[in-house]
Every structure is written in structure tokens, then in C-alpha cells.
Amino acid sequence: MGDFSDMSPRASSALQPAATPPGAIRNFCIIAHIDHGKSTLADRMLQMTGVVSDRDMRAQYLDRMDIERERGITIKSQAVRMPWQVGGDTFALNMIDTPGHVDFSYEVSRSLAACEGAILLVDAAQGIEAQTLANLYLALENDLEIIPVLNKIDLPAADPDKYARELAQLIGGDPDDVLRVSGKTGMGVEDLLDRVVERIPAPVGDPDAAARAMIFDSVYDAYRGVVTYVRMIDGKLNPRERIQMMSSRATHEILEIGVSSPEPTPSKGLGIGEVGYLITGVKDVRQSKVGDTVTTASKPATEALSGYTDPLPMVFSGVYPIDASDYPDLREALDKLKLSDAALQYEPETSVALGFGFRCGFLGLLHLEIVTERLSREFDLDLITTAPSVPYDVTTEDRKTVTVTNPSEYPTGRIEKVVEPIVNASILAPKDYVGAIMELCQSRRGTMQSMEYLGEDRVELKYTLPLGEIVFDFFDQLKSNTKGYASLDYEPAGQGEADLVKVDILLQGETVDAFSAIVHRDKAYAYGTLMAERLRKLIPRQQFEVPIQAAIGARIIARETIRAMRKDVLAKCYGGDITRKRKLLEKQKEGKKRMKMVGRVEVPQEAFIAALSGDVETKKDK
Amino acid sequence: MPSALPLADPAPLDGALPPSVVPGSDERALGVYLHVPFCRVRCGYCDFNTYTADELRGAKRSDFAGQAADEVAQAARVLADAGLPRREAATVFFGGGTPTLLPADDLVHMLEAVRRRIGIQSGAEITTEANPDSVDLAYLQRLAEAGFTRVSFGMQSAVPSVLATLDRTHDPARVPLVVAWAREAGLNVSLDLIYGTPGETLDDWRRSVEHAIAQEPDHVSAYALIVEDGTKMARQIRSGALPMPDDDLQADMYELVDDLLSEAGYAWYEVSNWARADASGEPDPAHRSRHNLSYWTGADWWGVGPGSHSHVGGVRWWNARHPAAYAERIARGESPAVGRETLDDETRRIERILLEIRIRDGLSTSTLTSEGRTAVAGLLADGLVEPAKALRGTLVLTRRGRLLADDVVRRIT
């Protein structure tokens, strides 16, 4: 990594928080797709503005969690204040890092609402992706000034002319206005910082009004409790002041107020347009919710800032410890995760197949993946998750409607109607894959809304799709049908009625709850046969014949049979075999302890896990 | 590989045994097993500790009898030094490999070493395994004169295509010949059969069993083919060149051999072993393999030779596997053992269960914990043990139970 200090017009002295005129403030974020180089660019800015010394520079400084760094994605946003000088005037630039994934679109929208402008960062070798388009759309909705930038222009595969035309076509303007930078080498980054000052409007607010600050992020820190990131709109917040959360009316005392640069630096307060953090000693992010308005307890504002909603889980899954004795640890781990993840919901659940666990609600599939990965990594838990489900509104014959997030709660008896969540999906891919994508979407009950060429060879397809179809391996299928080129974004688009049924899987007549699924009637047979066949391959033969059935209510739609085991004996057991034989027995006994009983049928936990993960079709039928 | 060796304790260089082996020893018979680790060719299914001429790394077949005799001398010394009473061997068994690949005089030399150092009871059972193509009348007569009482021929199958899949090179027509010579020499005869070879049909198997019965042996062993990891056959199955033996077909084959042998006047006395029956229909004690029974009844036995396992009073050990490594230790006057384990009471109890359940004399329910005794009800319900005997406190497997013996063990331990 080079030394950038020579090329950096760093500000000779930084402006002090609480004493910075709004005209000298620029609040912006970076909109980019995973791995288009946002974090590298942010690092370079930190280094060029001098807030991180070259010596302390550590790759991707802003992404702190291990998972984030490994996956190259940003889950939690933060804000950094950087000084920058243009033509003798010093400015304070607040860079607000936004989560990059659709699961966190609410958090994205709040981060955007804290800014006046956005850098639209696109890989000069790949072009814009669906999630970036979605976030760009949100940014335009928030009236942000957009600065289009192509990154990674140092790459041999970069085609900046082509993608500059694509960007100009999308947002209007001249392809020559698209900046070209390399976060890696630092090329063009100074110009970009200058452009931020030049183009992004300064914040406006009423310094004399009651204080109002919008929470755009809330992070749990093991040592300090909840750190709340805010953007001041009106008035001022001061150290030791009592504040009030406008959604709950709860009041707290500010123990510390300051800005990140990028380490937390206490200040004498925060004035209008400024971005910083508050620490009040609360221990749970639910007491400091993203989107909420902070005001002072002594002179509370009368009207909260608009845009606050509670995060609503859209994907549900059972989470179970593989070793039943880990259940208390799982509970403790979830309790801890909850402190830093306001969107995570869970309640205890019991399953015949999987034992004790929790039914968890997530914002989306990535959120589910992140939570389960954190549980296994940070808390060292081995877990199994059931197939993701979405909330269905089921109306029974007696006109009662229940929301079903778990197939096992599906009402019995006659069903009047079932309503499922629908999403608008946008898929971007090279034009060669249009056929494959249309086929996939059609098989998932999608309806095409539009198809548009972006630039020369890329197409954006818009579909409405049932969310339930998307959560079930849609993304994997999309990726494999398009050699990994397609990108997907979706947003809720209300509900739709559909002919859905619950399919149960029965082992020797007993329902195995973890395998029940709510599926479209046309697919019930396929699901039933698939699961019955998987289980037949996975469950070891017992001393008796075991029927595996798939059923809708009382109607059997598929059947497989595990034939009775007739032979289980080692043919030879002489002097040299005895020790080995005994060790084998000990191992088998150990394995037997971990068997789950479904009626009289002994099922290894691994069989359930493999059947749920779908890791069966590739295995040979022994 | 048959076995990554089990985790175990180091074996002392002098082979010394702890005093714990002494209690009860006067009630335990002593057997001697001699492992001859040589074969002309390696059969594709075989994972035994055996070596072709190319694989010997300098060890010589011609040196082997002397080395084995040296280990026998060590054995006598170690047993005496442990304070065990002098016990003559009740049984001696030469296995392999192919013991009869050595000259008859070499086998006799080893047997004489046992007689001289340890002693052999009068009326002892003295067996050697033999390949049908590696012996003739003179060879068998030489063994009989030296005191051998029994020969076990590796017949395996009477069907040429099955023998070919097994890589067995002998001519099936030789079996009647060698059996007749053994009889002429005055030896008891056992035939070994293998069933469930890839490609073998139930009819193939019927032919083999009928052919074996026609030789009127005193004893038959029938083993389900086990595909062991690391063998050529395992690779052939993995690559798809051979089909995996089917468990259900093997079960049918087991039932068939049990039926055919029973009709022909034989009775099972261990899961895979049948002996000519006496007038009452019970397997004649004179025709059972007493040596093999000693493995299943917790007797003491000393295993001589590369890779051999030994058991004396709850201490088990095993020798270096390669003939060259074995030879080096013997030459240095050290014990050839490379690992040993001392069984605690609970482990001995578990071993008793898993071994005694296999034999017709059965397992006493007093060996079981109260949980295990409760599980016996389930065995009865599932038809796995003889009801009348179970009610009198002995578990004897039914035919269905014999096929599911490992499951029975898991249920009662």
C-alpha cells in the first residue's frame, strides 16, 4: 500500500463539532453492490483526509465484524467525520456507511434519510447490479444528489466508457460527468472528495427549534452498551442532557456525545446537520430504534420526524441445536444477539424431529444467514434450521383469519382462502440468460411486469413473485441458471390470494413436523415425493418396514417405503477382530444416543439435517 | 485396511504381564494361534495381514518358522514369569495368509516348539488352514503324523465365475481331491465358504453349498463377504466395475445355507459356523472348532506371528504387522507386541456379551445390567431370541436374531 500523504490536501485544522456552521457540512453515503469496492474506497478517504494514519490503516477499516469482512459485505452502518479543504475553506464531511443488502432496506432508507447526497459507486468491469439500482431508487426518493462514480478503473477488465454510458443513461446527464476512481490505488479519490463538497447541498435546519435528531443506526457494544448514531435535524444536543425517544417517550441521560473519526471522540454536543453518536447506558438496541426521533426531555419537540416503522420479519425458520444439551446456550446466545439486532424475533418451539429450539423471524434470507452464522461462530453452536417460511393469512370456513408463520400452526379443517406475501423483484443479467430467468420465474409463479435493456447487453427483468417462492432456494437457482451473473433485488408488494396447501410428511403414520410445508397445490405432489424420497435414502433401515407418506390433510399424495433391515451382523469375529468390534459397538451406541425417535423409528439427527438442507440428491443411493 | 489400530497402551519390550492376569486362570483354557503371513497372490477382497513375495521387504519365508518358534519360547517364559500355572495348550491353530505355502516341515517345526515350550494336551485340537491348490497327500500325511487333527480348506465357492471375482486361483475340481486326501491322512475336515460376492446369484450359492455338503465335511464356515476399505474390491465397487453386495440377498443366502446344512445333518454353533450334528440334533462338540470357541468364551490365547492378537486374563496385545518389523524384534529378543490394552471389568462384560451372544450355548442374562434385562422383552417381541431359553436365563439367537446379532448387542448393552 502506497503513501498517500503527499497527494492529500488535508485540512490544516478540523472544524469542531457543535460549532460547525451547517454550510460547512456535507452528509453523504456510498451506494454500491457487494464487492464493488465500497469499503476500499472508504478506507482510502479515511487515509487521504488524515483521520486514520497510514500506519494504523487496516484494510476495510469500517467493516468491523469478522463475518462482514469475510463476506465482503457491510451489515452495520457507521458514520465517520472527515475534514477536507477546498479553495481555502474547511469542510466537515460525514460519510454514512449503509448496509448493502435488500434485507436491510429499512435501515438503508434511514441511512439515506440522514444524507443530502450519495456517491453511486459501480465496478467499472461489471456495471450496476440489481441491489444498487434498488438503493439508487431509494436515494432518488429521498431527493439525494447523486454523484456517479466508476471504481476499479485500474483493472485490466475495466470498461469505463461502456459503463459510464450505462450510468448516464440511467440517471441522466453526460457520460463525461461520471468520475473514474480506483479505491485501490487512490487515483481520482481527491477529485471525488472535491466533487462531494461542490455538488452535495449543505444541510438545513432550525437552530432555535426544539432538538430533533433521527436515529439511523443503533449498535450494541459489550463495554459501552448501546451506541446510537444520529443525524441532527433541528436544535442542539448537549452532554449530560436528558433525552427522550419520541416513539416510546422513554427518557435517558446522555453519558457521552461525540463524533466518529473514526474512533469515538467525545464532543461538546451536536448542532444542526451534524452526524454523531450518543451513549446513554441502555443495554438493548430495542430501546434505541432505527428511525426514531430523539428530542430533549426538558423541551421536547411536538412532532417526530417522518419515516419511522418497526422492522417486520418476513422470513421465519425454526432454529435448533444439533446437540440438545446446547438449548440453554442457544437461548442465551439469542438473548445476547437481540441486544445488537433489533429486527431479530424468536420464541421457544418444540419439534418431534429436532427437539427444543426457537422459531425465529428474520428480515430476509441474508438476515437469517447472518444470524445463524453469528450463532455458530460467536457462540460456538452447531445448529440446524428448518426450511424458511413466510407469513400466510389463512381464513377458515368460519371466517376467522390467522397469520401462520409456522406450517405446524396451519389450521385444520376447511380453508376458505390463503393469502401470501408478494414481492416486486428486479433481476439484472446479461441478455443471454433472459430465457433461463423467465423459465425460473414462471416455475415460481412469477408474473412479468417489464423487461428493459440497460446499456448494450444487460437486461433488467421485473417480476412479481410470491415471497414464499423466493425464500425457497430461488437465489441459488437463479445464480446457477445464469452462471452467477444475475443479481436480484426485491421489495414487498402487498399480498395475493393463492391456492396453497399444507403438505405433511409422515413417518410410520406420525407427522414429522419439521418437514411440513405450505406450498402451491400444483407443487404439493413434487414436494411430497421429493421429501419422501430424500427421507427414504437417509433413514437407515429398521427391523420393521417403515412407510414414509406425504399427505394433504387426510389425503396421501406420495409414498415411499424403507424396507425392513434383515441383516446386521459382522460375519467374522475372531481373536484379532474383537477390539475393533468393541470399538465399533461403542461408536454405534454413541450414535444411537443421538437418534431421534419418531414413534418407534430411530432417525439419526444427520438424516433430518441432510433432508432439510437438501444435500441428498447428489449422494449415491447406497 | 482392516484396522487403524485401536487407541491403546504401549506394550513393554519384554512382554511382561501384570499380576491381574492370574486370578481365574486355572479355569481358562490356553490356545495358541500361529499366523503365517504369506500368500502367493493377494485376493481382491482380502484385508488380512498377509504379504506376497514382492511385499516382504527383505523378510524371508524360510526364516519364519524359526522366528515363530522363538516367540513361542518367549510366550512360555512370559506366562511363567507372570505367575500363571503351567497350562498345556488345549488347541493350536495355524492361520494366515496361507500356512500351507510353507513346507510341511516348517509347520511341524513350529508345532514342535509349542509342544516343547508350552506343552500340548493329549486330545488337543490342532488345525491348519489350507488352500486346495497348496497341499497334496504327502503334505497332509506329514502334518497328521506330527499331531495335526484338522484341516480347514478355503473352498469359498464352487462356481468358477465367483472364484474369479474373488481372485481365487484354485481349480474347484481340486476340492473333492484334497478332502479325500485329508480323510486318508486321518484329519477332520472343515470347508470355508463365502457368500454375497458381487455378481453371485442365489443359485450360484446353492450350487456351492450343495457341492460342499457333497464332500461330507465335519464342519462348515460360511461368511458373508465384507467389502473392506482399502481392498482392490472396494475400489472396483467404488468405480462401478463391481456391484455392491446386497444385504437382502446376503440375508437370503444365509437362510439358504442354514436350511441346506440343517437338512444335511449339520447344526449351527456360532453365527457363521456349523458342525455335524449328533443324534439329538445338537452340533457335535467333537466337530466344533474348539480353538475358535475359545475366542467367543473368553479363554486365554497366545497369537504368534506378525499382526497376531493375544489375550490373557483381560490383557490384550497385538504384534507388529509387517514380517520384517516382526523379524527385527524377535531377532533382538524383544516382544513383537506394539500395543496392548488392559480391559476393565465393564469392558470385559461388554466383550462377553458381544461374543457369547454369537454362540449357540448362548449368553447368560446375569451378564446384563437391569436395563439390558428389560430390553430382552423387546428381543422376544421381535423374535430375535429363543423364548424357552430366554425364560430360563440364557439368550440364544433365533435365525432372524443371528442375522441381526449386532443390533441385538446394541439393544442389550
B290 shares a domain with B209 = yes
User: B226, A581: Cβ pair inside 8 Å?
Assistant: no
Select the more confidently predicted residue: A82 or A621: A82
Which residues in chain A touch residue B404, judged by CB atoms under 8 angstroms apart? 543, 565-569
- Rg of chain A in Å (alpha carbons): 28
- Residue B148 belongs to a domain: yes
- Residue B4 belongs to a domain: no
B274 shares a domain with B218 = yes
B206 shares a domain with B110 = yes
- What's the structural domain count of chain B? 2
3-state secondary structure of B278: coil
Q: Where would I find the beta strands (DSSP E) of B88-141?
A: 89-96, 120-130
Least reliable range by pLDDT among A8-12, A255-259, A292-296, A358-362: A8-12
Cβ–Cβ < 8 Å for B198, B242? yes
Least reliable range by pLDDT among A209-223, A340-354, B262-276: A340-354
Is pLDDT at A352 greater than 90 in this prediction? no
User: B251, A574: Cβ pair inside 8 Å?
Assistant: no
| Spatial separation of the C-alpha atoms in residues B95 and B307, rounded to whole Å | 12
User: B224, A567: Cβ pair inside 8 Å?
Assistant: yes
Using pLDDT thresholds of 50, 70 and 90, give the confidence band for residue A109: confident
pLDDT for res A406: 87
B358 shares a domain with B233 = no
pLDDT in tens, A54-87: 656 655 555 444 544 444 444 444 789 999 999 8
pLDDT for res A513: 85
pLDDT in tens, A422-434: 999 999 888 999 9
| Spatial separation of the C-alpha atoms in residues A547 and A539, rounded to whole Å | 11
DSSP state of A280: -
pLDDT in tens, B56-100: 998 999 999 999 999 999 999 999 999 999 999 999 999 999 999
Search chain A and give the residue with CA nearest B292: A574
Mutation site, B294, B407, B408, B411, interface A, largest A CB count within 10 A: B407
Search chain B and give the residue with CA nearest A564: B248
Which residues in chain A touch residue B307, judged by CB atoms under 8 angstroms apart? 576
Last residue of a domain, one of B264, B285, B300: B300
pLDDT for res A71: 45
| Closest in B303, B354, B413 to A575, CB measured | B303
B348 shares a domain with B295 = no
A589 min Cα distance to partner chain B (Å): 6
User: A568, B248: Cβ pair inside 8 Å?
Assistant: no
Is pLDDT at A281 greater than 90 in this prediction? no
Residue type, A485: Y
- Residue B54 belongs to a domain: yes
The dihedral region occupied by A614, where left means phi > 0, alpha psi between -120 and 50, and beta the remainder, is: left
Is pLDDT at B1 greater than 60 in this prediction? no
- Among chain B, residues having any CB pair with chain A shorter than 8 Å are 2-3, 6, 33, 223-226, 244, 247-248, 250-251, 254, 271-272, 292, 295-296, 301, 303, 307-311, 316, 318, 341, 347, 350-351, 354-355, 358, 382, 402-407, 409-410, 413
B170 shares a domain with B44 = yes
CB pairs under 8 A between A and B: 98
B103 shares a domain with B192 = yes
pLDDT in tens, B363-384: 999 999 999 998 898 899 889 9
pTM of the model: 0.67
Select the more confidently predicted residue: A136 or B196: B196
B244 shares a domain with B370 = no
B164: domain CATH number?
A: 3.30.750.200
Least reliable range by pLDDT among A22-31, A261-270, B204-213, B318-327: A261-270
- Residue B323 belongs to a domain: no
- Residue B210 belongs to a domain: yes
pLDDT for res A620: 35
User: A571, B307: Cβ pair inside 8 Å?
Assistant: no
pLDDT for res A475: 82
Mutation site, B346, B409, B413, interface A, largest A CB count within 10 A: B409
User: A565, B316: Cβ pair inside 8 Å?
Assistant: no
| Closest in B247, B318, B354 to A585, CB measured | B354
Q: Select from A557, A561, A510 the least CA-distant residue to A535.
A: A561
User: A581, B407: Cβ pair inside 8 Å?
Assistant: no
B297 min Cα distance to partner chain A (Å): 11
| Closest in B308, B351, B403 to A578, CB measured | B351
B69 min Cα distance to partner chain A (Å): 20
Using pLDDT thresholds of 50, 70 and 90, give the confidence band for residue A370: confident
Cβ–Cβ < 8 Å for B307, B3? no
| Spatial separation of the C-alpha atoms in residues A548 and A533, rounded to whole Å | 8
pLDDT for res A299: 93
- Residue B311 belongs to a domain: no
User: Complex ipTM, two decimals?
Assistant: 0.89
pLDDT in tens, A381-426: 988 888 888 999 999 988 899 999 888 889 988 899 999 999 999 9
- Residue B227 belongs to a domain: yes
pLDDT for res A72: 41
User: A576, B407: Cβ pair inside 8 Å?
Assistant: no
- What's the mean per-residue pLDDT of chain B? 95
The gap from C-alpha A607 to its chain's centroid, in whole angstroms, comes to 29
B401 shares a domain with B289 = no
pLDDT for res A18: 85
pLDDT > 90 in chain A, percent: 50
Where in the sequence is the domain holding B351, given as residue range(s)? 344-413
B126 shares a domain with B54 = yes
Q: Select from A46, A497, A107, A44 the least CA-distant residue to A261.
A: A46
- Residue B113 belongs to a domain: yes
B149 shares a domain with B66 = yes
Last residue of a domain, one of B300, B316, B331: B300
Joined grid coordinates for residue A174: 453526460
B220 shares a domain with B76 = yes
User: A565, B354: Cβ pair inside 8 Å?
Assistant: no
